[in-house]
A = this chain, B = another copy of it.
Amino acid sequence: MGSCAAEITMIIDRLYERVRERGPICLGLDPSEDVYPPGFVGKFGSPAEAALRFCQEIAAATADLVACFKVQIAHFEALGVEGLGAYRDLLRELRKEGHIVIGDVKRGDIASTAAFYARAHLAGEFAADFLTLNAYFGGDALAPFLPYLAAGEHGLFVLVRTSNPSAGEFQDLRVEGRPLHEHVAEKVAAWGEGFRGRCGYSLLGAVVGANRAVLARLRARFPALFFLVPGYGAQGGRAEDVAPAFREGNGAVVVAARSILAAHRGKPQAAERFPRYAREAALAMAADLAACL
């Protein structure tokens, strides 16, 4: 942390500092058989234990190279109650070690239900620093999360324009001459106005996929929105596609998961060296991004 660390209180300022110090990688911890080295699960008592250990080893090998970790809860839900215990333990450990953790839960529901999700994922057992949310329900469904932002210790990334092939099916439909996702971004920016950090960005950011034109347009229109950018690497996005998300090398984090987690594929001694291969992949990604920013 820099010399003015004592003044930094809001989590978005901490994230901004991390990007400045460690670069803009957001490492997606998405454990599954698809990314484990050969024979990995068999070493543990259960798939949930294997998932936890895999994430711990990857995190230990890469933490100094990433701005934050994003933990995909779906991978743990698929392992049932024990899997969610692993999710809880992973978030607790990472945050205790001082890492910034995004709980990738993409929840969204009416206000009375959203209040329970907010409690679960910002204050309860599954508390994360940031959460991803889906805004299809509109503003009143976001409202129950906002009291948890007041102390500056939590932030939100709301889905604006995602990175999957069908993303445009609804998100790009034109409303009054502009794509739907831009209307969503406008609302997110408005909801976040009272939550601006010293770094100039708001505690309410936006999920915007690795699409050069979309990122450039939204970056120009919404200077206070910090972007969480999925779609780099295994999903096809290149450094030049994500570059417009940034302003002076900051204001966004770029998600990579499989390209780092499964970097051991086809390499010698993958079973023992997978954390090292993950680290090498993170270094390569950092260099790739640095060349474009």
Whether A137 pairs with B183 at a CB distance below 8 angstroms is no
Residues in B with CB closer than 8 Å to A165 are 138, 140
Whether B166 pairs with A80 at a CB distance below 8 angstroms is no
Whether A171 pairs with B109 at a CB distance below 8 angstroms is no
A162, B134: Cα distance in complex, Å: 14
Instruction: Name A166's contact: one of B32, B75, B138 (CB within 8 Å).
Output: B138
Whether B106 pairs with A108 at a CB distance below 8 angstroms is yes
Question: What distance in Å separates the Cβ of A261 from its nearest Cβ neighbour in chain B?
Answer: 12
Residues in B with CB closer than 8 Å to A109 are 74, 106
Which residues of A come within 8 Å of B, CB atoms?
Answer: 30, 32, 72, 74-75, 77-81, 84-85, 88, 106-111, 113-114, 116-117, 119-121, 124-126, 134-141, 159, 162-171, 173-176, 180, 183-184, 187, 230
**A173: nearest chain-B partner, CB-CB:** B175
Given contacts A136-B159, A164-B110, whether A120 and B78 have CB atoms under 8 Å apart is yes
Whether A170 pairs with B183 at a CB distance below 8 angstroms is yes
Question: What distance in Å separates the Cβ of A120 from its nearest Cβ neighbour in chain B?
Answer: 4
A116, B257: Cα distance in complex, Å: 15
A108, B140: Cα distance in complex, Å: 19
A203, B149: Cα distance in complex, Å: 39
A139, B171: Cα distance in complex, Å: 12
Residues in B with CB closer than 8 Å to A174 are 175-176
A228, B275: Cα distance in complex, Å: 47
Whether A184 pairs with B170 at a CB distance below 8 angstroms is yes
Instruction: Name A169's contact: one of B30, B159, B187 (CB within 8 Å).
Output: B187
Whether A78 pairs with B117 at a CB distance below 8 angstroms is yes
